[in-house]
Amino acid sequence: MGDNKELTYEISSEEIDLEQIRGILEDNKKLRLSHNAREKIIACRNYLDRKIEEVPRPIYGINTGFGSLCNIKIAGEHLSALQENLVMSHASGTGDLVPAPIVKLMLLLKIQSLSYGYSGVQLSTVERLIELYNHNVLPVVYTQGSLGASGDLAPLAHLALPLLGRGEVYFEGERKKTTEAYQKLGWKPVSLRSKEGLALLNGTQFMSAYGVWCMLEAYRISYQADLIGAISLEAFNGLSEPFHELIHKVRPHRGQILTAKRILSFLEGSELNQQPKNHVQDPYSFRCMPQVHGASKGVLAHVRSVFRTEINGVTDNPNVFVEEDEVLSGGNFHGQPLALALDYLAMALSEWSSISERRTYQLISGQRGLPAFLINDPGLHSGLMIPQYTAAGIVSQNKQLASPASVDSIVSSNGQEDHVSMGANAATKLYKVVENTKTVLAIELFNAAQALHFRRPLRTSDRLENIYEKYVKVVPFVDHDRIFHDDIMRSRQFLEEMPVDSAMLND
């Protein structure tokens, strides 16, 4: 893997945070285990092997069956087959394919969790997971099959199948059998030992990977919602007074203060903003951006705290404590903290989309000197009438998707697993809300840029003018009806390619 520390991230006992993960992904860093992590993994495995020989009683998941079969003891000569059978039988996923970036995050987070030395896995097993990550051999994983409680069982089983030389992977830009990739790489399957299958399948890395990915996107959305909202405010000839710092000092929610300050900074030096106004108030979708956007920023801060704890924790079962001479079975795989946080973040994102669509509606409504539907000849041309319909439909779907999954539960495994978090469903719903919100903001920017044209010759701030000038090169002014799907997609791509400032992660 080389010794270039700038291109390598060392997995150790140190905590990993969102900003580090972003850097690992964006810089395409390779992974390696620290010396300390290797020693902990080896010591835990050696201890577990001795424990199995010395203790005749059943130890759950090590020499017993699983779930409601936990009371059935398995003979020593079958322990390896037990683990492989577990992985194969649990690879029962269906539904959509998990996006490749999230699969890569799943691998990273599983490696991180196993590196602490509480899971009893072989060093060679962790090293193979690292090889999969570093060579971009990404397991094919499906979205359905986890109840978010006994760990993300089916998704993690599909993640683990390539260790056995089974299942499918994405390799060299193609989806192929794992055996084909192994043959080309000269790899041999890993032979799992006692407890390893359970260590790989128990855990919350499916929920966690979705959550981390969605948080990274949500921070970008938070910044862009403020930016686009400021452009819309200028295009609507809105007031800057609601963003005055004195208003927010007397109700000092952190996100509210940050949003007001940021929007004011975007408006600095604007000719439009300095013009006398004939109106004394703006609609809430403009006036209350600090309160609404800021509340969603507050959710981000809470969710980040939950996930930081989770991704730096050990979530398989049982846990092996070498120094304390204990192998303890508990429930760290239960995803309830994540399920609630994922649902909360979906609500926050839904609100960003909801208030964005309302600003779009105001811009096309023919108020404050703007033509109806932002077109010069309304009637002959429909103008930007229907993009608002599209945004409204997406926002409605977001509201439906924001209905919490975490309030549900269903009994499984013959009643042994009688309360589950449904965090996996919360995760996949959240992913859709993130994607939807990006599109709603792209539609708002499309409308805001069109409306800003009608304010000429007055100019907005240098900062917003810079964004506007770049944008209209990608999505030109609409002087007659055209296929607006193409404009919406180009608008969305513009936002996707907008440089991300690390300061965004401070929202």
Active site annotation includes 60:
yes
What is d(CA 319, CA 71) in angstroms, rounded to the nearest whole number? Answer: 18
Residues 6 or more apart whose Cβ sits within 8 Å of residue 17: 308
Torsion angles phi and psi, residue 146, rounded to 5: -115, 135
Determine the 3-state secondary structure of 440 from DSSP: helix
What is d(CA 131, CA 186) in angstroms, rounded to the nearest whole number? Answer: 12
What is d(CA 241, CA 296) in angstroms, rounded to the nearest whole number? Answer: 22
3-state secondary structure 389-415: HHHHHHHHHHHHHCCCCCCCCCCEHHH
Contact 51, 59 (CB under 8 A): yes
By C-alpha distance, which of 45, 49, 47 is closest to 63?
49
Contact 257, 247 (CB under 8 A): no
Residue showing tokens 């973040």 = 345
Contact 293, 355 (CB under 8 A): yes
Angle at which helix 289-311 crosses helix 18-26, to 10 degrees, equals: 80
Torsion angles phi and psi, residue 67, rounded to 5: 60, -130
Report the relative pairing of strands 174-177 and 319-321 from DSSP bridges.
unpaired
Which tokens go with 466?
């810079």
What is d(CA 278, CA 286) in angstroms, rounded to the nearest whole number? Answer: 16
What is d(CA 317, CA 83) in angstroms, rounded to the nearest whole number? Answer: 14
Which tokens go with 227?
């930016």
How far CA 178 is from CA of 10, 95, 135, 175, 413, in Å, comes to: 27, 20, 13, 9, 30
Considering 47, 60, 210, 344, which one is annotated as catalytic? 60
Residue 374 DSSP code: G
Residue showing tokens 């408006």 = 267
How far CA 301 is from CA of 70, 106, 203, 336, in Å, comes to: 39, 22, 24, 18
The region that residue 414 occupies, defined by phi over 0 for left and psi between -120 and 50 for alpha, beta otherwise, is left
Which amino acids are annotated catalytic? 60
